[in-house]
Amino acid sequence: MTAQTLLRQMLPYALALAVSKALAFALLPLLTRALGPAGYAQWDLLATLADLGGLALGLGLADSLYRFTPTAPRTPARLLGLALTAAVVFLAVGQTIVALLPILPSAFRVSPCTRSWPRLR
């Protein structure tokens, strides 16, 4: 693989990541002003818990995909089985999380101030 091909394949992902981070950074003052200190603290806590949950639920899936994908047989039946298995697992995990939402402690629930965006003063 040449350097030019590598750069051409990598550039769209790098640009998308840069735009995403720049947009998040630019909108941060609006978010803090709209939510206020308490609302922003709850939002930040929920975002941190979501990040940690994503790490825990990922369980190295990306690493295993990079390791085993080149050697896996590429028959349509096997790919369909893999896709259906992944869909069932993700659906089960998502439904479990949704079922557990009502019994979470009140500190982790979304407060009324974060359900709708207040007007900026």
d(CA 51, CA 31): 19
Helices and strands of the chain, counted as H and E runs: 3, 0
* pLDDT of res. 105: 58
d(CA 63, CA 60): 5
Per-residue model confidence as pLDDT tens for the chain (121 residues): 788 888 888 899 999 999 999 999 999 999 888 888 888 888 888 888 888 888 877 777 777 777 776 666 678 888 788 888 888 888 888 888 777 776 765 545 555 555 555 555 5
* pLDDT of res. 94: 81
- Give the burial string for 63-96 (b: 16+ CB within 10 Å, else e): eeeeeeeeeeeeeeeeeeeeeeeeeeeeeeeeee
* pLDDT of res. 27: 92
* pLDDT of res. 114: 52
